Amino acid sequence: MSDQPNSTFRPSMNWVHTWAGLLLGTLIFTVFWMGTLSVFDHEIDRWMQPSTRIVASAAPVDFDAMLESVRAEFPEREITEAGFAVQSERAPLARGYFAFAGGERETWIVNPETGERLAEPGSLAGTGFIYPMHICLLLPGIWGWWLVLIAAIAMMLLVVTGVIVHRKIIMDFFTFRQKKKLRRSSLDLHNLAGTLFLPFHFMIAFSGVMIFAGWYTSLVWLTLPGEAADRATILANAGDDYGYYSREAAGEPGATVPVMPLIARAEAIWSERYGEPVRADYINAGNYGDANGYIWMRRSYPERQVNQGVDTIAFDLTNGEMIVDFVPTPARQVQRWLAGLHFIQFDHWPLRWFYFVGGLAGCLTIASGFVFWTASRRSKIEAAQPFKVRLIDVVSVGSVTGLIAATCAFFVINRLLPVDASWNGFERGVLEGLFFFLVWILSFLHAGIRAKSAWAEQTFAIAALALGAVLLNWITTGDHPIAAAGRGLWSVAGMDLVLLAGAAIAAWAALELRRSKPSAERRSIDEAETMPGGAAE
Amino acid sequence: MIADLAFLLLACALALLGGVLLALSQSRNWRVVTGDRNAPPKARSMRRLGWLLALGALAPCVMRDGWSFAALLWPLVLGVAALLVAMTLSFCPHWMKPVAGALSGKGVR
């Protein structure tokens, strides 16, 4: 790094930082925001799926009995695949997923405490909507995965260029002058949140890339023509490293042995290996009823371990013979640590909350970057290029406050739609998702119409929607935070409290934004601040 | 369980104290808290001690969960602590007066 007065290094880094931020800010913010919420995806599930609000029970669920029930319910159908998710502290319901010869699919949800089957909860919620939005933006095919990869790489680029661009003010990392003008206070927030959580932001972006590194390179191969495009082989090789097991169906009928004794055998092997009781976490019976039937299972994540790598065991489903006993190799531990730190399946509540704060800080960094950009340039270029300023206003308002408002509206509509709602063939869960996108699109339109007032107005909307969600949850389920906590439903109480805190912060921020509306900034911009590197006082 | 909580609180306390010292070692923050326009006394030692305490917060993190978790917990504890310090400086700087008083040897004003 050169400090020569005529050096082009920092101006060029500034250029990269500004344009990568502006062009990809929407994408990065979406991925970061949805990732932050995914930290509590199961807790959001409990909130949005009131029928699943139960306290976790360790009572084992009999999956053979579940298979019997499925056969009894659909006597004319033939099961070809069955997946079983064992309940856990954060996901207290056991689930069975069944695929049939005709291509039909069924999900079976069981309360482990009572053994009774629960109706479809009617919401995609955290694990079905917010988490997929984080990993692939809910886009069909592989496009979403690529965009998320670009977002992660851009985030790393922004973190590095940001350090160079804002180097001098980074030394002032305790500074937030909230009473100063918006241009000043937004830059303070940008530097504060960006600097303090820099290691976390970099690690999250980096681990996000590394999780799918193998997968992404497979995608590269898949896009190539010719011999490389043997899809199945490539994806199977990618899966081998993680201990997944599968094999082709023989096409001939075969016997099926009971599932529960095999689970017990695997659990006994793991428990002996690790000297503590270990349970199976996910079980997949493939080619069910076929001569090549198999059953694959994965142990639950150890409480005190970051690394995602866990043992898997596969049996032959026709006779119960063991096929594979996979133990993750030490050579993979670094990659597995990176994956584990990103997936946060471990049991560590304080760290989970710290992740949430770190994620919010990332969102704040991106959002305040947007605000700073418009606030610092408005007076200078508005006269000359009104369209450019308007466009960036619309994009930044819609991407930041619009997305947050849409998320809150997603929670609100969840509590307003009747249990059996459906419209034009769309099920209730899909309707919630459509409403989310409707509100998000409207937020861009609103930003286009209201221009300078849009930031403040949408922030008010966030406050109102968040508060509304809490009140509606109380009215429709009776689980206000105190009642929920009293029943041991910390997921519901916690989400309510976060929404209340969010509503309070949004209301305060809206008042501040109204006070220092960008239009109120009369002082012409000084060159020192156009070039953020020179903005230190 | 109690040990877990104790280690976590210790890590947070060390990080917070380190953050307060680092913040007060900067002239502007010193002025905001004390109203004193002079440079903070012993700024250099304050800075060194501040970094030392921040580094020291790693120890309880490791003792609580081992290196694998500490590598994640420690930077986040430092970040959250520093954020709290920054917000205190911004909204209620007088809360830091006792610390500044103790540092300048003049007692609480």
What would the two tokens of residue A489 be? Answer: 């439903």
Residues of chain A positioned with their CB less than 8 A from the CB of B8: 350
What pLDDT shows up at residue A191?
87
Is the Cβ–Cβ distance between A404 and A33 less than 8 Å? Answer: yes
pLDDT at residue number A219: 60
Contact flag A304-B28 (C-beta cutoff 8 Å):
no
In a mutational test of the A interface, the residue from B25, B62, B68 whose CB has the highest number of chain A CBs within 10 Å is B68
Q: Using the beta-carbon criterion (under 8 Å), do A357 and B80 form an inter-chain contact?
A: yes
Q: Which residue has the higher pLDDT, A211 or A47?
A: A47
Answer whether residue A490 shows pLDDT above 50.
Answer: yes
Q: Residue A78's closest CA among A97, A104, A108, A96?
A: A104
Interface test with B, best of A171, A172, A174 (most B CBs within 10 A): A174
SS3 A283: strand
Q: Does the distance separating the beta carbons of B89 and A175 come in below 8 Å? A: yes
Q: Out of A175, A350, A357, whose CB is closest to B8? A: A350
| pLDDT in the model for residue A236 | 55
Nearest to B68 among A177, A307, A350 (CB): A307
- Measured CA to CA, the distance from residue A211 to residue A338 in angstroms comes to 7
Cβ neighbour number for residue A238 with a 10 Å cutoff: 18
- Among A173, A307, A348, select the one facing B82 at the smallest CB separation: A173
**Which single residue is written with the structure tokens 């490293």?**
A241
Cα nearest neighbour of B86 on chain A: A174
CB contact under 8 A, B66 and A307: no
What confidence score (pLDDT) does residue A2 get? 43
Kindly report the nearest CA distance between residue A272 and chain B, in angstroms.
Answer: 23
Q: For residue A228, what pLDDT is reported? A: 45
Residue A253 contacts residue A289 (beta carbons within 8 Å)? yes
Which of helix, strand or coil describes residue A86? coil
Query: Which residue among B75, B85, B87 places its CB closest to the CB of A200?
Result: B75
CB B39 within 8 A of CB B96: no
How many CB pairs lie under 8 A apart between chains A and B?
A: 76
Q: How far is CA A507 from CA A184, A458, A512, B109, in A?
A: 20, 10, 9, 35
pLDDT tens sequence across A242-267: 677 888 888 888 889 999 999 999 99
What's the distance, CA B43 to chain centroid?
Answer: 14
Q: Is residue A300 within 8 Å of A281, Cβ to Cβ?
A: yes
Best interface-test mutation with A: which of B7, B25, B72 has the largest number of A CBs within 10 A?
A: B72
Q: How far is A321 from chain B (nearest CA, A)?
A: 36
Instruction: Give the per-residue pLDDT at A170.
Output: 64
- The band of A14, judged by pLDDT with boundaries at 50, 70 and 90, is confident
Least CB–CB distance from A304: residue in B65, B80, B83: B65
How do residues A188-223 score in pLDDT, each as one tens digit?
888 889 889 999 999 999 998 888 776 666 666 555
Nearest CA in chain B to A177: B90
For position A536, what pLDDT does the model report?
A: 33
pLDDT at residue A63, rounded to an integer: 92
DSSP 8-state secondary structure symbol assigned to residue B40: P
| A150 contacts A27 by C-beta, under 8 angstroms | yes
Cα–Cα dist A493/A483, whole Å: 8
Determine the straight-line distance between the first and last CA of chain B, rounded to whole angstroms: 40
Average pLDDT, chain A: 84
Residue A177 banded pLDDT, cuts 50, 70, 90: confident
Percent of the residues in chain A that have a pLDDT greater than 70, as a whole number? 87
Q: How far apart (Å, rounded) are the C-alpha atoms in residues A454 and A399?
A: 12
Cross-chain Cβ contact A176/B86 below 8 Å? yes
What is the ipTM, given to two decimal places?
Answer: 0.92
In degrees to the nearest 10, what's the CA dihedral of A131, A132, A137, A139?
Answer: -170
A332 falls in which pLDDT band (50, 70, 90)? low
Read off the pLDDT band of A167 (50, 70, 90). Answer: confident
Least confident of A184-193, A230-239, B2-11: A230-239
DSSP annotation of A325 reads E
Q: What is the tens place of the pLDDT at every residue in A432-462?
A: 999 999 999 999 999 988 877 888 999 999 9
State residue A225's pLDDT score.
53
